[in-house]
Amino acid sequence: MFRSSLFVLALMLPLATQVPAPPAATPAPMAKPRVQLVTSYGPIVVELEPGLAPKTVENFLQYVKDGHYKGTIFHRVIDGFMIQGGGMLENLEEKPGRGPIQNEVAQTFKAGLKNSRGTIAMARTANPHSATAQFYINVTDNPSLDPHGFSEEGFGYCAFGHVVSGMEAVDKISRVKTEWRRGTGDIPQFPVRIKDAVLLPAQ
């Protein structure tokens, strides 16, 4: 009887000493960089989405780090639509930039990042993959700028972040008086300056 009890105890010991494995570590979420645009109408802070648009965010941040946006203007302003800047100087000459980047709108749109009010997106020509430094901020929801079939006409414009503070400055800029100049419309009568673009400390 005593022997059999010891045998049963010996069988049970390995089970009793087993320790449950710790749960698998959850990877830390990717930090979302923030950039403050210091404008003549007040600061605008945008939070970027590197997890959704890595090449676009990298390109924008490199222009920020290079000081490219300092001294540029919002040169195209349409009330109820968007404000566009980051590429022109006050005399409406284009500031030299780097080469164009790949349009990542397919993946950002699929993830739900669209041309809605407050998002920042890349400006480009008719060529879907021609964006360089210029960007725009949507003043309202603009579904017409989202993909529609991915033909050249309907490829869409890549949103890569959103305004987290300073939307009142965006709205003020969108309502400035504009004029035709050098054969182009929607140019503010008085310069709307981007005094600087500053990468903020990580949140």
pLDDT at 2 over 60: no
| The pLDDT value given to residue 191 | 97
pLDDT band at 25 (very low <50, low <70, confident <90, very high): low
Domain residue ranges in the chain:
34-199
Quick one: tokens of 19?
A: 């320790």
Compute how many other C-beta atoms are within 10 angstroms of the C-beta atom of residue 155: 20
- Flag whether the pTM goes above 0.75: yes
| The pLDDT value given to residue 119 | 98
pLDDT band at 202 (very low <50, low <70, confident <90, very high): confident
pLDDT at 3 over 90: no
Of 85, 97, 94, the residue nearest 122 (C-alpha):
85
pLDDT at 174 over 60: yes
Q: How many CA atoms lie within 13 A of 1 on its CB side?
A: 0
Quick one: tokens of 91?
A: 């005399």
- pLDDT tens-digit map of 97-108: 999 999 999 999
Q: Which residue has the higher pLDDT, 87 or 8?
A: 87
pLDDT band at 117 (very low <50, low <70, confident <90, very high): very high
- The architecture in CATH of the region 34-199 reads Beta Barrel (2.40)
